[in-house]
């Protein structure tokens, strides 16, 4: 939604939930319908490298799904930062964002990495996702921390995403001393 000040809502569902690094005018718990979070996008620049990509979340269409996250109301200049941060395969996608606490429904955008982008990795069995993530690291830190911070943030918001929590559970098992 473009309001009087030219600001726009951005829905964050991955690292944008727990690591902002940009200014915003408002920040609200929120949800988008018809999308589900999946660790199907490769990361060459944050949680992996071009030679050994990590895995990060994207949204994939799923008719009855609801994905919860955080909506930020931002001024236009913030898109210079966001477009650069999400440059590894993500594109701005218009979405309808429901603000959890106020019930408002706003037009906005979210960053989605669609199938076919150069860094896309696609689905894999959960065990393979966990092993891949446990072994990956990039300039923004370990791929495991990306998953665990996302899982903790969702939990702190009172939200649960089975795909994220199952992955976090398996990763914690790998790191448990034997």
Binding mask 90-129 for ligand SIN (x = CB under 6 A): ---------------------x------------------
48 contacts ligand SIN (rule: CB under 6 A): no
Looking up tokens 């939200």 gives 159
Only one of the segments 13-21, 100-108, 154-162, 163-171 lies at the binding site for ligand SIN (rule: CB under 6 A); that segment is 13-21
15 contacts ligand SIN (rule: CB under 6 A): yes
- Select 146 or 178, whichever has its Cβ closest to ligand SIN: 146
What is the tally of helices (H) and strands (E) in the chain?
Answer: 5, 7
**Residue 23 in tokens:** 């200014």
The residue from 8, 9, 12, 164 that contacts ligand SIN (CB under 6 A) is: 12
Phi/psi of residue 155, nearest 5 degrees: -60, -45
**Is 37 in contact with 159 (CB distance < 8 Å)?**
no
> Please, which residues bridge with residue 142 across strands?
137
Residue ranges in contact with ligand SIN by CB under 6 A: 12-16, 56-57, 86, 111
């Amino acid at each position: 939604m473009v309001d009087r000040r030219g600001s726009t809502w951005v829905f964050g569902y991955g690292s944008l939930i727990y690591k902002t690094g940009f200014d915003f005018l408002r920040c609200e718990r929120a949800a988008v319908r018809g999308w589900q979070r999946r660790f199907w996008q490769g990361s060459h620049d944050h949680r992996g490298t071009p030679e050994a990509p990590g895995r990060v979340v994207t949204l994939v269409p799923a008719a009855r799904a609801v994905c919860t996250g955080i909506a930020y109301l931002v001024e236009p200049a913030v898109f210079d930062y966001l477009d650069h941060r999400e440059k590894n395969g993500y594109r701005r996608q218009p979405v309808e964002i429901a603000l959890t606490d106020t019930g408002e429904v706003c037009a906005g955008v979210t960053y989605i990495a669609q199938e076919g982008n150069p860094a896309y990795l696609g689905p894999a069995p959960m065990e393979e996702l966990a092993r891949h993530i446990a072994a990956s690291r990039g300039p923004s830190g370990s791929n495991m921390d990306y998953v665990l911070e996302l899982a903790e943030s969702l939990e702190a918001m009172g939200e649960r995403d089975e795909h994220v929590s199952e992955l976090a559970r398996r990763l914690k098992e790998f790191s448990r001393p034997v």
